[in-house]
């Protein structure tokens, strides 16, 4: 008997480590065989892509990915839906489930995405909430596997704001036997029970690291505290000195969009140790593997 696919991919931990590894292998096959590999997987099924916040990579990679799998992507701005006029998540979930085979949603409310996942009869995929960004983490693991050949035992240092990207990276890494250390100042750190080593010392986090990762200091929704954040996070930038404290073969990662001069220097972002552009590309392959698994 084949194992049933989980309904939702909202925190990332809905999928067990062995399955994550198989999704990454499948993402590599889809990459190598693009665009024909998997081209009939969705067989004309539609996928709703709901965006309450801006997006370049997530929106476009999902839209291209659904099309390449033979499905129909429906990109929806939530302000164009009755949701923006107070229609409930429950009613939206019931109605969309009659039309589409999956719902991908980027929302300012994690709770709303969880509720959508509970109420919908089709899989719901988190395309970023303030708490989690699991699709990013899947592509990040694929990128690390491409660079290092495996994931077990890798050490990843995340330096900066302990945000959605950091949290999902820690969860995903823990599922495949990689370690994450997060260096963040007081008030910006992940919860103490996060599956990561937590410190306020960037050099401690990057010592012996195979990859060093950062993300913006001001995430979507944090704009009102931008000035204070830039001051508080000033010592948590990836530059060439910090990179030199990691392993000689360590790569640099960033989910993008980047703010060169803030969380990362331009020299490191555009330098030859940067894996950032592969991470962006892998969003497409990893999400195709995920959709194929959840829907096909
Ligand atoms: N990394 C990422 O999710 O980028 P977008 O906000 O452009 O989708
Ligand atoms: N932490 C960032 C990630 C953007 C892809 C944000 O939530 O805005």
State in Å: Cα 140 to ligand 2 middle. Answer: 14
Q: Determine if ligand 2 sits within 6 Å of the CB of residue 55.
A: no
- Res 1 pLDDT > 60: no
Q: Determine if ligand 2 sits within 6 Å of the CB of residue 220.
A: yes
* Rounded distance between C-alpha atoms, residue 75 and residue 48, angstroms: 6
Summarised one tens digit per residue, pLDDT across range 87-137 is 999 999 999 999 999 999 999 999 999 999 999 999 999 999 999 999 999
User: Where in the sequence of the chain do the CATH 3.40.50.1370 domains occur?
Assistant: 9-133+283-295, 135-280
Q: Which CATH class is domain 135-280?
A: alpha beta
Which residues have C-beta atoms less than 6 Å from ligand 1? Answer: 55-58, 128, 136, 255-256
Q: Determine if ligand 2 sits within 6 Å of the CB of residue 109.
A: no
- Res 60 pLDDT > 90: yes
Residues 77 and 87: beta-carbon distance below 8 Å: no
pTM of the predicted model over 0.95: yes
Across the range 149-160, mean pLDDT stands at 98
Across the range 240-246, mean pLDDT stands at 98
Assign 5 a pLDDT band (cuts: 50, 70, 90).
Answer: confident
What would the CATH number be for the domain defined by 9-133+283-295?
3.40.50.1370
**pLDDT for 4:** 77
Q: Between the CA of residue 286 and those of 75, 191, 213, what are the distances in Å?
A: 19, 27, 19
State in Å: Cα 239 to ligand 2 middle. Answer: 20
Assign 73 a pLDDT band (cuts: 50, 70, 90).
Answer: very high
Give the CA-trace dihedral at 90, 92, 95, 96, to 10 degrees.
-120
**pLDDT for 2:** 66
């Amino acid at each position: 008997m084949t194992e049933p696919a989980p309904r939702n991919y909202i925190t990332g931990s809905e999928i067990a480590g062995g399955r994550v590894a198989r999704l990454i292998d499948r993402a590599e096959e889809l990459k190598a065989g693009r665009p024909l590999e998997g081209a009939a997987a969705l067989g004309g099924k539609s996928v709703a892509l709901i965006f309450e916040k801006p997006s370049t990579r997530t929106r476009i990679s999902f839209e291209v990915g659904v099309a390449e799998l033979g499905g129909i992507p429906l990109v929806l701005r939530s302000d164009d839906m009755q949701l923006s006029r107070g229609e409930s998540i429950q009613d939206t979930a019931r109605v969309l489930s009659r039309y589409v085979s999956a719902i991908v949603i980027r929302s300012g409310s994690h709770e709303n995405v969880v509720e959508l996942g509970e109420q919908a009869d089709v899989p719901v995929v988190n395309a970023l909430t303030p708490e989690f960004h699991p699709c990013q983490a899947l592509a990040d693991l694929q990128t690390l596997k491409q660079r290092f050949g495996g994931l077990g035992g890798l050490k990843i240092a995340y330096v900066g704001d302990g945000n959605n990207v950091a949290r999902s990276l820690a969860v995903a890494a823990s599922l495949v036997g990689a370690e994450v250390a997060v260096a963040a100042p007081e008030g910006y750190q992940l919860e103490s029970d996060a599956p990561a080593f937590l410190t306020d010392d960037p050099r401690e986090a990057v010592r012996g690291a195979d990859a060093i990762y950062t993300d913006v200091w001001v995430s979507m929704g944090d704009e009102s505290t931008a000035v204070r954040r830039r001051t508080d996070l000033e010592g948590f930038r990836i530059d060439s000195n910090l990179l030199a404290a990691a392993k000689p073969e360590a790569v640099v990662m960033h989910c993008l969009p980047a703010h060169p001069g803030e969380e990362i220097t331009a020299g490191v972002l555009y330098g030859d140790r940067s894996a950032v552009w592969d991470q962006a590309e892998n969003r497409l392959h990893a999400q195709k593997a995920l959709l194929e698994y959840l829907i096909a």
